[in-house]
Amino acid sequence: MTLRSRYDREILRLALPALGALAAEPLYVLVDTAVVGHLGRSQLAALGVASTLFSALAMFNFLQYGTTAQTARAVGAGEDETAARLGGQTLWLSLAFGVALAGLIAALAEPIVHVVGARGQTAEYAVTYVRIVAIGVPSAFLTLGGQGFLRGVSDLRTPLIFVLGGNAANVILEVWFVYGLHWGIRGSAWGTAIAQTGMGLGIAWAILRRIGRRNAVFRLALARRLLAIGKHIFVRTAALMSSFVLAGAVIARSGDAALAAHQIAFQLWILLALVLDAVAIAGQIIVGRELGAARPEDAYAASARMIELSVGLGAVFTVLLFAFQDVLPRAFTSDAEVLAQCALVWPLFALMQPLNGAVFALDGILIGASDGAYLAASMVTAFVCCATVLVVCLNRGWGIQGVWSALVVLIAVRLVTLGLRFRRRRWLVTGWA
């Protein structure tokens, strides 16, 4: 790995504010975990079930990633008005998907919780949490799509401000509702729902101010273009999240202690993954812009540098996770059985971080190139491999170690398939049209 590159300045200029916004997003759940974790094991396990359910909504991140790639490509090609109109379309699409899914989640909360595997008091807590948080889903989708557009026009400061503000509000509201008003897990849910609503409305307002009323009008052709690009990213993300949901369902059948430990490790994994994804966000922007401007060699060289930086960052995380393996889990629970389960999974969790770095960088690069069909096919392949290990894990009773071994397989298969695609350069397709 070289110490310096001519691309470093721009990568850091884009990645640092993206890192702030990305790292702030999972803090919603980490704050929930820290607050709810001290209410009791059933409440923490219920939060794990609800988090597994809501993590499935990430399959709609095509509203964000597809918008970033297409907007950046339009900017690179000099199509500034088209880029502005894409901002309007992503707001319409995000709101439509968010309202529809919020209704489904609220209506089907109870059967979904039971499918995941929760029973008794844990299931009751989970249903309560899910139905309240569903109120904030439409605004969460506005945040999702809105960030995609703002990243595409290289404005990473605006979403950072709103995301940080939303997280600060979430912390204050949760502590007040749970410990001040003694609402229990309901207070945690209401804090999250209110904070998400404020954040989504704020980002939508900022975009409308930027693009103007004329560009906010719904345009079917551009909306269909975003959906056409997004369908491949949807399949890719659905396969990824299906791996996580299946892993959560398998671990739920290993008892509350294993499920609670998985909740702690998985949310920390998500936090680190999104930090690593900051470099991938820079990849989406730079690659989309350079390919739109017909500069494929610059797109490739910048991408190679982003992979180097991301792997190095993953290695740093590995060192830190081993250094604090006895400290981090205790921030979320004092239950001896849960801590013992965390100790079992920690080495796998720590050692996979450099692999994550390479995979997330490659993923962002190919998303920026709108290479959706290949991304979808490679992810489905990885899901099949991961699911096979999870089925064996369930039948053999391998517990939390087996589940995390399956997640390592998921990442390894993705690394091989995406790495081959990158080396062959077939993704270097230029121009807006």
Kindly state the tokens that stand for 368.
């920026």
User: Are the CB atoms for 404 and 345 separated by under 8 Å?
Assistant: yes
Given this model, what pLDDT does residue 268 score? 85
Contact (CB, 8 A) for 88 and 218:
yes
Cα–Cα nearest to 204, from 269, 159, 262, 165: 159
pLDDT at 199: 93
d(C-alpha 48, C-alpha 207), whole Å: 34
Query: Tokens for 50?
Result: 């609800």
Residue 397: its pLDDT value, please? Answer: 79
Question: In angstroms, what CA-CA distances link 125 with 47, 193, 229?
Answer: 8, 16, 38
Q: Tens place of pLDDT for every residue, the chain, 433 residues?
A: 555 777 888 888 888 888 877 767 667 667 778 888 777 777 788 887 887 778 778 778 889 988 998 999 999 988 889 999 999 999 999 999 999 999 999 888 888 887 776 677 788 888 889 899 999 999 999 999 999 999 999 898 999 999 889 888 988 998 899 888 888 888 888 998 999 999 999 999 999 999 988 899 999 999 998 888 888 999 998 898 888 888 888 887 777 778 788 878 887 888 788 788 888 888 889 999 999 999 999 999 999 999 998 999 999 999 999 998 888 888 777 778 778 878 888 888 889 999 999 999 999 999 989 898 999 999 999 999 999 999 998 888 788 888 889 999 999 999 999 999 999 998 998 887 6
Give the per-residue pLDDT at 3.
57
pLDDT given at position 101: 93
Segments making up each domain of the chain, as ranges: 8-424
State whether residue 182 is helix, strand or coil.
coil
Residues whose CB is less than 8 angstroms from the CB of residue 186 and which lie 6 or more positions away in sequence, other chains included: 128, 129, 132, 177
